[in-house]
């Protein structure tokens, strides 16, 4: 199903590149928002003072507190150096998901190039940190607990790890594509003005799915890094 996208009005944007330009637009928004968030948080003693009212600073504090709590639950307090990375990953995926609820826009995450790319990023990160933490003895994680089964376990683990980027990407892609399609269908079905409240319900569902999928992707990435850097193997 083809969907109209406002970026199609730009002469230099080709149809097959829509997801790329939409992703660029989302990235620009994230960069601008980061400057706004940095300004809202302040510096020095002001940055340490909790917000006493609903504001951009309060929203940012709640978001960071959520990521820190999730990180402590999965990896532990010793893994708090990963918090900025997970916060950026969660927020990037969330914004790219939410782009789809803007009329005339398509989310970059309903394209496999974007979602599998994010899956590959997660794959590279947890293996990088695993090797950084354990050195080349990290490969022992693929051998299993029994020496005589090591060749078989190594082959199984290699296949299992190699399909992780694909499963991460397909999960995110499938859910966002299905959600965007459902919302589009219901908006078309209930286009008369007096029926507008009906698709609004599905917009609410779309926001919920966008948040859940960003959460699931970030949580799985945390679990993979936790397993790669753990010392109890």
Mean pLDDT score across all residues of the chain: 79
How far is residue 34's CA from residue 181's CA, in Å, rounded to a whole number?
A: 30
33-42, 57-66, 104-113, 124-133: range with highest mean pLDDT: 124-133
In a domain, 86, yes or no: yes
- Confidence (pTM): 0.80
In a domain, 21, yes or no: yes
In a domain, 58, yes or no: yes
Cβ neighbour number for residue 120 with a 10 Å cutoff: 15
Please determine, for residue 188, whether its predicted confidence score (pLDDT) is greater than 80.
no
How far is residue 188's CA from residue 196's CA, in Å, rounded to a whole number?
A: 10
Tell me how many degrees the CA angle 68-125-162 measures, rounded to the nearest 5. Answer: 125
In a domain, 27, yes or no: yes
What is the arithmetic mean of pLDDT over 10-38?
70
Local confidence band at 233 (pLDDT 50, 70, 90 cut-offs)? very low
Is residue 84 a contact partner of residue 91, using CB atoms and an 8 Å limit?
no
pLDDT at 1: 47
Which range among 6-10, 90-94, 229-233 shows the weakest confidence by mean pLDDT? Answer: 6-10
What number of CA atoms fall less than 13 Å from residue 225's CA on the CB side? 28
SS3 52: coil
Domain count, the chain: 1
pLDDT tens digits, 58-76 = 777 778 888 898 988 888 8
pLDDT at 19: 66
Range of the domain at 112: 6-229
In a domain, 203, yes or no: yes
In a domain, 200, yes or no: yes
pLDDT at 90: 92
pLDDT at 95: 87
In a domain, 1, yes or no: no
pLDDT tens digits, 171-181 = 999 888 888 77
In a domain, 167, yes or no: yes
More confident residue, 112 or 8: 112
What is the arithmetic mean of pLDDT over 133-159?
78
Please determine, for residue 125, whether its predicted confidence score (pLDDT) is greater than 50.
yes
């Amino acid at each position: 199903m083809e969907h109209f996208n406002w970026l199609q009005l730009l002469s230099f944007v080709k149809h097959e590149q829509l997801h790329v330009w939409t992703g660029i637009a989302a990235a620009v928004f994230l960069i601008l928002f980061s400057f706004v968030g940095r300004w809202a948080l302040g510096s020095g003693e002001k940055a340490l003072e909790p917000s006493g009212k609903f504001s951009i600073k309060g929203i940012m504090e709640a978001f960071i507190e959520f990521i820190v709590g999730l990180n402590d639950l999965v990896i532990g307090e010793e893994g708090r150096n990963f918090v900025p990375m997970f916060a950026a990953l969660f927020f990037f995926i969330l914004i790219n998901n939410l782009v789809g609820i803007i009329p005339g826009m398509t989310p970059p995450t309903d394209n496999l190039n974007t979602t599998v790319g994010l899956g590959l990023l997660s794959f590279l990160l947890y293996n990088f940190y695993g090797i950084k933490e354990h050195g080349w003895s990290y490969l022992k994680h693929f051998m299993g607990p029994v020496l005589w089964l090591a060749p078989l376990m190594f082959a199984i683990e290699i296949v299992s790890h190699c399909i992780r980027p694909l499963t991460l990407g397909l999960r995110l892609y499938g859910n966002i594509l299905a959600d965007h399609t459902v919302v589009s269908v219901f908006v078309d079905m209930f286009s008369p003005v007096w029926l507008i409240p009906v698709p609004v319900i599905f917009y609410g569902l779309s926001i919920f799915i966008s948040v859940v999928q960003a959460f699931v992707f970030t949580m799985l990435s945390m679990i993979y890094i936790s397993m790669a850097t753990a010392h109890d193997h």
